[in-house]
Structure 1
């Protein structure tokens, strides 16, 4: 009786086809494309870099600061009083404000969120939909829904919260935004007589200032501060 060796299973047989490795240049291109796609996804849904072109948010944010803006906070909610937000220009607010000049490479990188973008505005949320915002009370402070607010982040905390007096009711779905450097900020106050009345649509907000990443000696918080508004009641 002739004995036979057991046949090798398909799993045991050496593969007759070996996967051919990509040439180095093709592998490099593939990795770069994957990295750019991931960067674009991150920029669209998670984090985006921005450049600060003016002193309207001093001393919280300085000219030429680079900040990262996170978008996660507004996936399921809306901006809150005290948030520092970046938003699309709601109607020629930028005007003659200088914008960052980008070279061709920088423009490409900015598309993928790999270089700080210009062409947007950054301000602090003062009033949300339904709020009654008045300036100023007897001590020069903002008054929101009948409650006075002390603002420790102002560039000049000893001055009135605004040299321009106003009394506004924020429409639903809109925001009242102001810079921390109140005497050098063309914010909602400067556009009271414009279409939209100085209010910014919530949908125009790109995200919340998360962290300052450049220059190194200023690395730290993005400046949002909700604590001063903790005692403000909900609007009627």
Structure 2
């Protein structure tokens, strides 16, 4: 019995701290790299509607790819708050648009996320080369989106890549891993605490050792 109690004690002292390290690490990483935002406008319909809360993954400028939906700082003169927009072209790309048809470097874009039946008559054709370190971005709801098409006179309508605060995470693999690690940390912590409590209770319930009988002197 005493040997069993000792084993419980050893397990408790190992599992609880290890579980706390896993849980703390998962929380710190998640808080540093992920956040949610609330969609306020219609510019990204039907992909994201008002009230949706997409998960944003922090990235740097070198990780941005065409087709990404990013949370980006717009030109300050036109919009004050960060906006969700889809990256159409990156530095050096040749972007040509007419109505809802867009080509990048001579290749038509396949855009199943654009469902506008009518083109935005307020925007004429455009033909631009994206400056290095900049992004040409559009909203999915082309008929109602304040995007690069409306600022063509300023660096070809591009937004600064350095203004990207994060990318909408469509693949849930990374958060799932973090949740799994955090859950494992909780389980190990509780198991360790449970082992410590069980050890304490078992020690209290052990009968006291009977004294050795005295030896009679002859």
Scaled to the shorter chain, the TM-score interval is: 0.5 to 0.7
* Long gaps (5+) in structure 2: 1-23, 173-218
Matched residue, 1:66: 53
Matched residue, 2:127: 167
Matched residue, 1:183: 143
Cα 1:92/1:68, change in 2 over 3 Å: farther
Given that 2:38 and 2:54 are in contact with CA atoms closer than 8 Å, whether structure 1 keeps it comes out as yes
Matched residue, 1:124: 86
Structure 1 residue runs of 4+, over 2 Å off?
Answer: 38-44, 74-78, 92-95, 158-164
How much does 1:147 deviate? 1.1
Mapped pair 1:134 → 2:107: no
CA deviation map 1:79-106 (0-9, x unaligned): 11100000123323326xxxxxxxxxxx
Q: How does 1:1-236 map to 2 (within 5 A)?
A: 42-44=30-32, 46-71=33-58, 74-75=59-60, 77-94=62-79, 119-136=81-98, 141-156=101-116, 158-159=117-118, 163-194=123-154, 196-211=155-170
Cα 1:212/1:54, change in 2 over 3 Å: farther
Cα 1:47/1:175, change in 2 over 3 Å: same
How much does 1:153 deviate? 0.5
How much does 1:159 deviate? 4.5
Given that 1:85 and 1:207 are in contact with CA atoms closer than 8 Å, whether structure 2 keeps it comes out as yes
Q: Normalized against structure 2, the TM-score is what?
A: 0.59
- What is the Cα-based RMSD across aligned positions, in Å? 3.0
Given that 2:90 and 2:134 are in contact with CA atoms closer than 8 Å, whether structure 1 keeps it comes out as yes
Q: Normalized against structure 1, the TM-score is what?
A: 0.55
Q: Is the deviation greater in 53-62 or in 142-151?
A: 142-151
Q: Secondary structure at the match of 2:150?
A: helix
Larger radius of gyration: 2
Which structure is higher in RCO with an 8 Å CA cutoff and minimum separation 6? 2
Q: Aligned partners of 1:61 and 1:186: how far apart in 2?
A: 15
CA deviation map 1:146-185 (0-9, x unaligned): 11122110032x5459853111100111100000000100
Given that 2:129 and 2:156 are in contact with CA atoms closer than 8 Å, whether structure 1 keeps it comes out as no
